[in-house]
């Protein structure tokens, strides 16, 4: 089991993400989210974990923050701030909020330009801090949603996954698609949608634990077997 290993001893890992990654205060409802559970799993394996998260954010937000143009509680999360931890690797879980760009990818050109303007420099900045960057793409439970709105969301997620994967290959970032992680986990078969995502977006309780485990299972020490760049899902 992951929690019984100490393979990440001596590693400093920075986690960066949106509201799926947020939470942490004792008794806070956000403790149900994936982020605190992922932090616990990696800490149990011996890693020193720094978790940075902000709800509703995506690539443009974190690109600005690293440049020193952030505001509020995230203002301090600059390149210099991250460098002081001397991270052995940085792990991101981003893309869900960006999938609405270009009317959820209906205008592919607009979406592609957005990622080239924001995701590309973000990956390059992070690579200058440590060569070991792993980006986990947005997830989506396609089988539980139907109708025009579901089709729009699916299109946005698929194209986001595609463009992020392409840029990751350009920059040498390991990209891990997460679009079908739910359908591959047998434990979800007995869970109702409301037991998986309490507000149709955020995974909770056991489902959040499974999400954290799906990510943690692909995190390896630098030099060990790491998640390879995987061909992303396509719209075909």
* 219: CB partners within 8 A, 6+ apart: 8, 13, 42, 89, 91, 134, 227
pLDDT digits (tens, 9 = 90+) for 125-183: 999 999 999 999 998 665 555 677 788 888 999 999 999 999 999 999 999 999 888 88
Q: From the CA atom positions of the chain, what is the Rg in Å?
A: 17
Summarize the confidence of residues 21-41 as an average pLDDT.
75
- Between 23 and 96, the higher pLDDT residue: 96
Helix (H) or strand (E) holding 87: none
- The burial class, CB within 10 Å (0-12 / 13-18 / 19+), for 56 is exposed
Q: What is the pLDDT of residue 229?
A: 45
Mean predicted lDDT score pLDDT of the chain: 87
Joined together, the tokens standing for residue 54 give 């902000």
- Show the tokens assigned to 139: 């997830």
Q: Is the dihedral of CA 143, 148, 149, 154 positive or negative?
A: positive
Q: Which long-range contacts (CB under 8 A, 24 or more apart) does 114-121 make?
A: 114/59, 114/60, 115/59, 115/160, 115/163, 115/164, 115/167, 116/167, 117/60, 118/58, 118/59, 118/60, 118/63, 119/59, 119/63, 119/163, 119/164, 119/167, 120/167, 120/170, 120/171, 121/63
State pLDDT tens for residues 60-106.
999 999 999 998 889 999 999 999 999 999 999 999 999 999 999 99
CA distances from 75 to 87, 160, 173 (A): 19, 26, 25
Report pLDDT for 234: 43
Q: Is 60 exposed, middle or buried (0-12, 13-18, 19+ CB in 10 A)?
A: middle
Mean pLDDT, rounded, for 180-189:
83
Q: Give φ, ψ of 170 to 5 degrees.
A: -65, -35
Q: Cβ–Cβ contacts within 10 Å for residue 172, how many? A: 12
Contact 98, 59 (CB under 8 A): yes
């Amino acid at each position: 089991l992951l929690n019984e290993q100490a393979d990440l001893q001596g590693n400093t890992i920075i986690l960066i993400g949106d509201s799926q990654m947020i939470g942490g205060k004792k008794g806070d409802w956000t403790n149900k989210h994936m982020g605190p559970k992922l932090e616990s799993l990696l800490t149990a394996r011996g890693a020193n974990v720094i978790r940075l998260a902000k709800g509703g954010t995506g690539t443009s937000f974190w690109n600005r923050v690293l440049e020193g143009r952030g505001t509020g509680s995230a203002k301090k999360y600059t390149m210099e701030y991250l460098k002081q931890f001397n991270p052995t690797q940085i792990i991101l879980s981003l893309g869900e909020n960006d999938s609405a760009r270009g009317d959820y990818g209906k205008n592919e050109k607009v979406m592609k330009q957005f990622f080239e303007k924001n995701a590309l420099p973000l990956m390059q900045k992070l690579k200058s801090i440590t060569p070991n960057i792993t980006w986990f793409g947005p997830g989506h439970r396609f089988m539980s949603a139907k109708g025009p709105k579901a089709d729009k969301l699916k299109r946005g997620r698929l194209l986001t996954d595609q463009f992020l994967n392409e840029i990751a290959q350009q920059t040498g970032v390991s990209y891990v698609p997460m679009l079908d992680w739910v359908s591959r986990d047998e434990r979800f078969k007995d869970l109702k949608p409301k037991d998986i995502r309490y507000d149709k977006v955020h995974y909770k309780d056991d489902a959040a634990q499974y999400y954290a485990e799906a990510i943690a299972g692909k995190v390896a020490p630098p030099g060990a077997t790491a998640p390879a760049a995987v061909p992303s899902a396509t719209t075909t």
